[in-house]
Amino acid sequence: MRAEVLKGHLDWLLLAALEAGPLHGYAVMEALRTGSGGRFDLPTGTVYPALHRLERAGLVRSRWSTEGGRRRRSYVLTPAGRRALAGERSSWQEFATTVSALLEGRPSPAPA
């Protein structure tokens, strides 16, 4: 799947990848790749700017460490990021349920 398909959803997928704990940029990309069964194979270079954008928005926080003599930047969800992810998860499930119902020609469940 190409990166353009994920436009608008990438931020949420990155937040979900970070939900389990801190990861560095390449590990985030690997988590997306393995978590999607290889379907989301993004260019690594597109993941880093998105992580920076999320940090600017206060949804993730980064910290530097030294690994094998190299500086490494890891990202972790902030409380605001966790809340935003929970909200998006709920909205997405409602959206997906409604679209699935329409595509399959069955009535959509009434909003909760």
Partner 1 sequence: MAILAELEDGLWTATIAHHARGLPPEEAARVAVAEFGDPRTVGTGFGPELAAATGRRVGLALLATGPLVGASWLLLAAGTWRWAGQEPPAALGLIVALVGLALVVAVPAAVLSVAVSGRLSRWLPTGPQVGATAAAVAACACVAGDLVLLGGLLAAAVLAGGVAWPAALLAAGASSTRLSLAGRAARRCLDARATLISP
Which residues in this chain contact partner 1 in the complex, by CB under 8 A?
Answer: 24-27, 30, 41, 43-46, 48-50, 52-53, 56-59, 67, 70-73, 80, 84
Q: Which is nearer to partner 1, 83 or 99 (CB)?
A: 83
User: What is the closest distance, in whole angstroms, from the C-beta atom of residue 14 to partner 1 in the complex?
Assistant: 13
Q: Which is nearer to partner 1, 46 or 108 (CB)?
A: 46
d(CA 107, CA 23): 41
User: What is the closest distance, in whole angstroms, from the C-beta atom of residue 107 to partner 1 in the complex?
Assistant: 34
Q: Which is nearer to partner 1, 49 or 109 (CB)?
A: 49
| Terminal C-alpha separation, the chain | 32
Identity of residue 60: V
Q: Which two tokens stand for residue 47?
A: 């993941």
d(CA 13, CA 3): 12
User: What is the closest distance, in whole angstroms, from the C-beta atom of residue 26 to partner 1 in the complex?
Assistant: 4
Give the gyration radius of the chain's Cα atoms: 16
User: What is the closest distance, in whole angstroms, from the C-beta atom of residue 95 to partner 1 in the complex?
Assistant: 20
d(CA 14, CA 102): 28
In three-state secondary structure terms, 10 is helix
Q: Which is nearer to partner 1, 2 or 111 (CB)?
A: 2
